Structure 1
């Protein structure tokens, strides 16, 4: 292994080129741990973008970012600039709400952009502090939908990462629907693509020893990881940046893997265990949950409750997994699906070394994982053995969206031709220092007819087998009760003939559930 004790101190940070207001702006001397919010406000004087919570909850810091993906598509994202490292958007185009008025790339017939006109006409701003963030979330939706207005449900989803304490939201939702009432504001996308290409070329490759490393190949990423194991590894940075904004941490060197092509790809492969879906570690949460929901549509409503839209646009599946939070939303679902994490490193003698670990075995303790100091988590593999299992996932949180789970549960099951459970895996979060596979509950279901009785026994086994967290978010008793209720929700959303519940629409919602008895007699293995 490389001897880091002989390394010179980090060199200067690389230049930071941005596309802003129709030209490439080059910034120099930006420290690797500066947030995009601080650079926009302090270096560029763009004070329309605000800092509210500094944790990605309120959305006052939301900005629009556009780049070109490896397949040539122009990608629009709403991002929390308080959590985004400034260097992570090098080579991208960035807009704040003030830029919608002044950007020469936007052709308008009025002074204001249609999003701003709709907000003004619908009286959707009161104190105004949160308004720039709402405008930028709607602007990204406007660009993605070619200027169309939003329906109510889509507007709620698009604005799930923005909070307002004044208007009561109705005028803001009215503005989202009214955006297309005004003459279209057209973006000069051809010119934008040219400018993004210029900015990306100006970014180039950081020199060896740079304080901000953003490798484009897996080999370069693993080489950097081996050489600088103490560097902070980031992809979306939506959790890592909290150390900067909340704990005043400082990072001397950053390894950003979000530009690594191999880590941003989604593919289907096969090995001796069968076919699998490989999701690169730096694939955004939005894309990762989209490809999972394509195969398991029941996951769609659950995915919409994963944080807010700016977090889904910026955060990554690999980051959520390696973060190791016991209340992360991805892990129970991935446990239920039997997913494996792919861990890779470069050995000085043996070259590339790869190992895979079942995700429930990846966690060793509270925010401790099996990842070695010279390894990177490069992908998550989800089995695709036919027939695919049925999957359902639920969470309970203090808010319907834009919040982490108090407790969550996911289940995957397959029935044999006689209706007995042939395969079942259950993952739960919020019940221990790590995400947990609920093997005791699985044992009460396996080889038995699927139905309310079996699920009742499984719920009782689950409640008896866990020692939930007891903290300010919820008591252990509440979490235990809700775990049983979430498992019993499967009876209401999958068992035919249950009054008042439609299986195709109830999954992932907040419908009521039957009371759970914890004194049900558990059964051993069926004879």
Structure 2
């Protein structure tokens, strides 16, 4: 199972846990994807390549790692995940989850009538591998037709099983829809797959030996290989640097400003798979312990750049529950499990969904660097980070370290609207976030962020001015709608025409007004199928 490197100190060795064993891989190039390693190096062809961009979910696998002494399971897209990033983790593919395989490589059971668990070897007989509840439920609900997407669905169900079923939680239809939103199927219509998700609880439990797994993960924990202050699990000579603390990250960035920074790789991964880009040096910040934290303060929440989107949105939703539906529509769960809020912000895509929301909430970013042996930081409003299409004000030696989001205050009403061709797992044509404070019928404060309408995520300054200090009336809204439509000149592309985007901008402001007046039947979140029958 192990592959030995033919060149010493050329490429960093990867170690991870699979089926209770340590897998060691050497000579893996820095930009080789996890999917390539699984299918081509390990021969694990159950994991499929569909879109190659983290969109269809056919390549879904589950990763496990310890966080604060407990195990976290995350379903992720292996097609855009760099193989080196799973160093020190546990991995499950669709070949690994049958319960007898989880327990041991040779499944054994007692003969009928025998008691106890320590029967002599001669009194045991081999058992054919049985199915995991995720697999059995798919089978019994006829949830697979052509079968190409099935391994990905099974692995998303396996992640759901570990995170919910084994904790005694109920799989509701809504939860199943949310957590399977990153998996696409063109055959089944999804209904039998959702049925399978809810039926997993009906089968005998198949728990993992988490105590043993935690010990194994400790045994493959990457050890820093460089000197004091530059602790990293790789080095420039290996091509893949993965600092374990902030000091090491800043020093590595200062020494290697040409290295490609990655986090969850949900965007850079597409540069590799679609544009065939290769990077001589990769600087991965996902193991930097300081940047994996979410810190809560009286007036703001500080989210580290390496915090997965799943956890970052959970923190935002806890403070502002009305953002839940939007958070669940940010790509699919496997993308949110890999991608980071810091990566989405630093990437600066004009159609990145988190930035309009963060702009409307008044978020700041903290940029950090190492200069003259000292950590240096500067803070600025998020919208001032960008200077043009995917361009920003960061110096070559700087990294985006933190996003600081003000806490919700009394009287505030923050809403964010995403318009896309597909409701789930799709890229926005337009994203508009509106945050108004209404006091005694007057707009005391207006903050609006927009995406998909300019070369960068932007603040709608003219529309904010058209609202601030005005009475919150239909007439004010109509005037602000005209201002908003005139404020930007979006392009036409494959997702929407310029005319459509302009019209929708005003319509979304009108929707905000109608919802503020108590109308709820205009949004899909309040739609109930049984009410429509």
* TM-score in terms of structure 2 length: 0.88
Match of 1:395 in 2: 418
Deviation at 1:209, TM superposition (A): 3.2
| CA contact 2:320–2:408 (8 Å) conserved in 1 | no
Of 162, 168, 172 in structure 1, the residue corresponding to residue 189 of structure 2 is: 168
Deviation at 1:357, TM superposition (A): 1.6
Matches within 5 A, 1:181-330: 181-201=202-222, 205-207=233-235, 209-269=237-297, 275-330=299-354
State the aligned residue count.
Answer: 490
Match of 1:31 in 2: 29
Of 70, 73, 79 in structure 1, the residue corresponding to residue 70 of structure 2 is: 73
| CA contact 1:91–1:202 (8 Å) conserved in 2 | no
User: Are residues 329 and 108 of structure 1, via their aligned partners in 2, closer, same or farther at CA, if it must alter by over 3 Å?
Assistant: farther
Determine if the alignment matches structure 1 residue 358 to structure 2 residue 381. Answer: yes
Determine if the alignment matches structure 1 residue 346 to structure 2 residue 370. Answer: yes
Deviation at 1:136, TM superposition (A): 0.2
CA distance in 2 between partners of 1:304 and 1:509 (Å) = 15
CA distance in 2 between partners of 1:347 and 1:326 (Å) = 31
| CA contact 1:108–1:184 (8 Å) conserved in 2 | no
3-state SS, counterpart of residue 175 of structure 2: helix
Match of 2:198 in 1: 177
| CA contact 1:427–1:435 (8 Å) conserved in 2 | yes
Match of 2:140 in 1: 121
- What's the CA shift string for 1:22-81, capped at 9, x where partnerless? 111111111111101011112211110010000001000000100001x22211100000
Deviation at 1:198, TM superposition (A): 1.0
- What's the CA shift string for 1:452-495, capped at 9, x where partnerless? 32222111100011101211211000000111111111112112
3-state SS, counterpart of residue 177 of structure 1: helix
User: Are residues 26 and 59 of structure 1, via their aligned partners in 2, closer, same or farther at CA, if it must alter by over 3 Å?
Assistant: same
CA distance in 2 between partners of 1:201 and 1:475 (Å) = 49
User: Are residues 364 and 68 of structure 1, via their aligned partners in 2, closer, same or farther at CA, if it must alter by over 3 Å?
Assistant: same
| CA contact 1:360–1:436 (8 Å) conserved in 2 | yes
- What's the CA shift string for 1:79-113, capped at 9, x where partnerless? 00001110101110101111112633489996110
- What's the CA shift string for 1:396-439, capped at 9, x where partnerless? 001101011100100112122x2211111000111111111111
Deviation at 1:389, TM superposition (A): 2.6
CA distance in 2 between partners of 1:320 and 1:193 (Å) = 31
Match of 1:520 in 2: none
CA distance in 2 between partners of 1:252 and 1:510 (Å) = 50
CA distance in 1 between partners of 2:525 and 2:377 (Å) = 36
| CA contact 1:332–1:408 (8 Å) conserved in 2 | yes
Root-mean-square deviation (CA), in Å?
A: 2.1
| CA contact 2:355–2:451 (8 Å) conserved in 1 | yes
User: Are residues 388 and 54 of structure 1, via their aligned partners in 2, closer, same or farther at CA, if it must alter by over 3 Å?
Assistant: farther
3-state SS, counterpart of residue 220 of structure 2: helix
Match of 2:459 in 1: 437
Match of 1:99 in 2: 96
User: Are residues 30 and 170 of structure 1, via their aligned partners in 2, closer, same or farther at CA, if it must alter by over 3 Å?
Assistant: same
| CA contact 1:15–1:203 (8 Å) conserved in 2 | no
Of 508, 511, 517 in structure 2, the residue corresponding to residue 495 of structure 1 is: 517
Of 432, 443, 446 in structure 2, the residue corresponding to residue 424 of structure 1 is: 446
User: Are residues 186 and 344 of structure 1, via their aligned partners in 2, closer, same or farther at CA, if it must alter by over 3 Å?
Assistant: same
| CA contact 1:108–1:185 (8 Å) conserved in 2 | no
Deviation at 1:203, TM superposition (A): 7.9
CA distance in 2 between partners of 1:329 and 1:396 (Å) = 10
Task: Report which stretch shifted further, 354-363 or 77-86.
Answer: 354-363
Deviation at 1:149, TM superposition (A): 5.7
| CA contact 2:436–2:447 (8 Å) conserved in 1 | yes
3-state SS, counterpart of residue 352 of structure 1: strand
CA distance in 2 between partners of 1:183 and 1:108 (Å) = 17
Determine if the alignment matches structure 1 residue 331 to structure 2 residue 361. Answer: no
* TM-score in terms of structure 1 length: 0.89
CA distance in 2 between partners of 1:510 and 1:367 (Å) = 37
User: Are residues 388 and 191 of structure 1, via their aligned partners in 2, closer, same or farther at CA, if it must alter by over 3 Å?
Assistant: farther
Match of 1:52 in 2: 50
3-state SS, counterpart of residue 142 of structure 2: coil
CA distance in 1 between partners of 2:17 and 2:473 (Å) = 57
| CA contact 2:290–2:304 (8 Å) conserved in 1 | yes
Determine if the alignment matches structure 1 residue 372 to structure 2 residue 395. Answer: yes
CA distance in 1 between partners of 2:403 and 2:108 (Å) = 44
| CA contact 1:17–1:203 (8 Å) conserved in 2 | no
